């Protein structure tokens, strides 16, 4: 079981739009700083891009991909569907919006009652556990104890990778202490076949955590911090744990993580766990279901 992450999140509610505007402002500051360093000769030579690849899957944000046999299922954050599931045998080519929509269905017709908005559902990640398919996803809950961190991760079940996924009545995880916020889940299977869920937690200096899962997709251990903020230029809320930033070279790239390295079930993590820095890879491939 596996998945791929192609792109950063595409916010769809006002809170995330505000955060997106702040992020864009932060990026502008970073670019200005990078130009200053470049002028000083600190970042090395400039390489001209020969080609910018066209969009392959229009209106598909926070995507993950599962392959079953020769079929690929692409899951994404809500557009006019929540969540959309695009089915194809070829993910190497581009699709027009009309072409993609003809092969796209809504994966969760009945929305969770705990979510503030029925049209808001982000970053679904799907995997098979036993004879069932599980979807972890994120959304804002009603009446959050921390209004600035309303996000929670939910869980839904289906008998097929195309759903329909039926959500559980309450959220699965709402962050540290159940109040700090949690979003952008990402399923991960290590070389030993152990299953983990990467998550982004709010209200902490160590946003990226991993949660060991058992064979029923339940948490088998306490969340373990694997990446913490280190530099002033890092945004106050690090999202999308399938994407990483190699700090030494300031090169943005996708990297494979080793969730739960050294973790013992039932042992709580240290409050300031040192970040794990695995070797980067250019892409996390989809693997058969």
β-pair type (151-158, 132-140): antiparallel
Q: Six-digit token pair at 260? A: 């739960």
**HSE, side-chain direction, 13 A CA sphere, residue 107:** 35
What's the pLDDT score for residue 129?
Answer: 97
Residue 210's nearest CA partner among 242, 178, 171, 252 is 242
CATH number of the domain residue 116 falls in: 2.115.10
Q: pLDDT, tens digit, for every residue of 111-130?
A: 999 999 988 899 999 999 99
Domains held by the chain: number: 1
**Domain range holding 234?**
14-254
Q: In what order do the strands lie in the sheet with 208-213?
A: 182-189, 195-201, 208-213, 224-227
What value does the mean pLDDT of the chain take? 74
pTM above 0.75, yes or no: no
Q: Dmax of the chain from CA atoms?
A: 58
Measured between alpha carbons, how far apart are the two ends of the chain, in Å? 4
* Length of the chain, in residues: 289
Does 284 fall in a domain?
no
Higher pLDDT, 285 or 210: 210
Least confident of 166-170, 200-204, 247-251: 247-251
> Does residue 135 fall inside a structural domain?
yes
Q: What is the mean pLDDT of residues 131-135?
A: 97
Q: Classify residue 206 as exposed, middle or buried by CB count within 10 Å of its CB (0-12, 13-18, 19+).
A: buried
Q: Average of pLDDT values for 232-237?
A: 69
Residue 284 has what pLDDT?
31
Residue 77 CB contacts under 8 Å (≥ 6 apart), including other chains:
9, 10, 12, 61, 62, 83, 121, 122, 123, 124
Instruction: Note whether residue 88 is domain-resident.
Output: yes
- Residue 205 region, left (φ>0) first, then alpha (ψ -120 to 50), else beta? alpha
Examine the pLDDT at 147 and tell me if it is beyond 50: yes
CA 31 to chain centre: 24
Please indicate, yes or no, if residue 278 is contained in any of the structural domains.
no
Give per-residue pLDDT as tens, 66-94: 999 999 999 999 999 999 999 999 988 89
* Per-residue pLDDT, 74: 95
Contacts of the segment 245-252: beta carbons below 8 A, 24+ positions apart: 246/280, 250/34, 250/43
Place of tokens 């556990």: 129
Q: Which residue has the higher pLDDT, 1 or 127?
A: 127
The pLDDT score that the predictor gives to residue 230 is: 79
How far is Cα 95 from Cα 56, in angstroms, rounded to an integer?
6
Is residue 110's pLDDT more than 70? yes
**What whole-number percentage of the chain has pLDDT above 90?**
50
What is the rounded CA–CA span in Å between residue 183 and residue 242? 12
Choice among 30-44, 55-69, 80-94 with the minimum mean pLDDT: 30-44
Q: Is residue 167 part of a domain?
A: yes
**Inside any domain, residue 115:** yes
Given this model, what pLDDT does residue 50 score? Answer: 62
Q: Is residue 265 part of a domain?
A: no
Residue 7 counted as domain residue: no
Look at residue 49 in the predicted model and tell me its pLDDT: 55
pLDDT score, position 224 = 92
- Which of 246, 139, 126 minimizes the C-alpha distance to 197? 126
């Amino acid at each position: 079981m596996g998945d791929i992450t192609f792109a950063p999140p595409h916010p769809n509610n006002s809170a995330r739009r505000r955060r997106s505007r702040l992020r864009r402002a932060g990026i502008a500051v970073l670019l200005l700083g990078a130009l200053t360093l470049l002028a000083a000769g600190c970042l090395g030579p400039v390489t001209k891009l020969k080609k910018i690849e066209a969009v392959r899957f229009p209106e598909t944000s926070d995507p993950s991909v599962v392959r079953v046999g020769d079929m690929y299922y692409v899951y994404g954050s809500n557009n006019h569907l929540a969540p959309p599931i695009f089915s194809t045998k070829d993910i190497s080519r581009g699709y027009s919006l009309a072409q993609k929509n003809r092969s796209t269905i809504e994966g969760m017709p009945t929305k969770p009652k705990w979510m503030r908005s029925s049209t808001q559902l982000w970053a679904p990640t799907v995997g098979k556990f036993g004879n069932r398919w599980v979807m972890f996803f994120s959304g804002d809950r009603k009446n959050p104890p921390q209004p600035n961190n309303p996000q929670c991760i939910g869980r839904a079940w289906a008998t097929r990778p195309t759903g329909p996924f039926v959500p559980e009545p309450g959220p699965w995880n709402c962050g540290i202490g159940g109040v700090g916020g949690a979003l952008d889940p990402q399923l991960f299977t290590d070389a030993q076949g152990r299953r983990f869920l990467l998550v982004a937690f709010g209200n902490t200096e160590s946003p990226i955590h991993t949660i060991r899962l058992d064979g029923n997709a339940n948490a088998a251990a306490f969340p373990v911090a694997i990446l913490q903020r280190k530099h002033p230029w890092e945004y106050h809320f690090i999202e999308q744990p399938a994407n990483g930033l190699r700090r030494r070279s300031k090169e943005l790239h996708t990297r494979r993580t080793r969730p739960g390295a050294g973790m013992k079930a039932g042992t709580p993590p240290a409050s300031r766990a040192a970040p794990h820095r695995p070797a980067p890879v250019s892409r996390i491939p989809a693997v058969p279901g």
